[in-house]
Amino acid sequence: MIYSVDVRIEVPVRDTEATDRVADAVRNVFPDAEPIHEDGRLVAEAHTLDAFSDVLHEQEILDTARRVFLQNSTDEGFDFSLKKQAAFEGVVNFAVGEPDELGEIDVAVRVREPDVEAFIDYVAPETDEGRPVDPAREYGDRIDPEDAGY
Q: Which residue in 118, 121, 105, 112 sits closest to 33, CA to CA?
A: 105
Spatial distance between the Cα atoms of 56 and 72, rounded to a whole number of angstroms: 17
- The C-alpha torsion from 34 through 70 and 142 to 140, rounded to 10°, is 120
CATH 3.30.1440.10 fits 4-124, yes or no: yes
Q: What is the pTM of this model?
A: 0.85
Burial of 114 (0-12, 13-18, 19+ CB in 10 A): middle
Q: Does the pLDDT of residue 11 top 80, yes or no?
A: yes
Does 138 have pLDDT greater than 60?
A: no
The domain limits of the chain are 4-124
> Comparing 18-27, 33-42, 71-80, 134-143, which segment has the lowest mean pLDDT?
134-143
pLDDT(144) > 60: no
Query: What pLDDT digit, counting tens, does each position of 64-114 carry?
Result: 999 999 999 999 999 999 999 999 999 999 998 777 777 899 999 999 999
Tell me, what's the pLDDT at 6? Answer: 96
The pLDDT, as a whole number, for residue 143 is: 46
